Structure 1
């Protein structure tokens, strides 16, 4: 099953406002979750295929109240995707503290279409050189 692990934190100390920390986790939960469905496809091939991705549904569940966790301390985002078919991907994620507390669970379903599915040619990388032998 395609999966990704990502350690993250906000660089600067955030205010002790739980709404700020919730907003950071909501933003971060969307980064990379849907693209987990394409993990087994090499990055270069993926971007050359001119993908179009759009979230159709995204849900989050907070399991521990603030300040048991903070967005300016290291958190581990575990993402996996059980399904990619018919241009739709389904991914799930869990965010843990460094000491293993589950902070957030989330799920996202989205549209993943490639340029060929939209009648577009593959992109050419500007650094591609044609060798003359």
Structure 2
């Protein structure tokens, strides 16, 4: 399943919060994004299916290695788009420009965010051959 702009927004929020807090909750994500807790739970379930996060029974959320990798790659692509944002006919606020860049980032194929990680993990699973 392709990651949507909503998935990326939540993943980036979790990544940002995880950089300063060890324990992340659905409530803290809801507050950061200004959304309801049920919408957070729905997206978190999708991110769990993608192997990006782990959510404990009592609600603590943790990024997996894959989630951290993807969040960093998404942030790099988002930053590159923002640095080279195309001219548009009207003025955009910083938030509007960020949302547009996020939409462009979400339109990129998911393999751009995950392929290197998948190759690295597969390389770890492959036994080394002794000569």
| TM-score, normalised with respect to structure 1 | 0.25
Higher relative contact order (CA 8 A, sep 6+): 1
Q: Which has the higher strand share?
A: 1
| TM-score, normalised with respect to structure 2 | 0.25
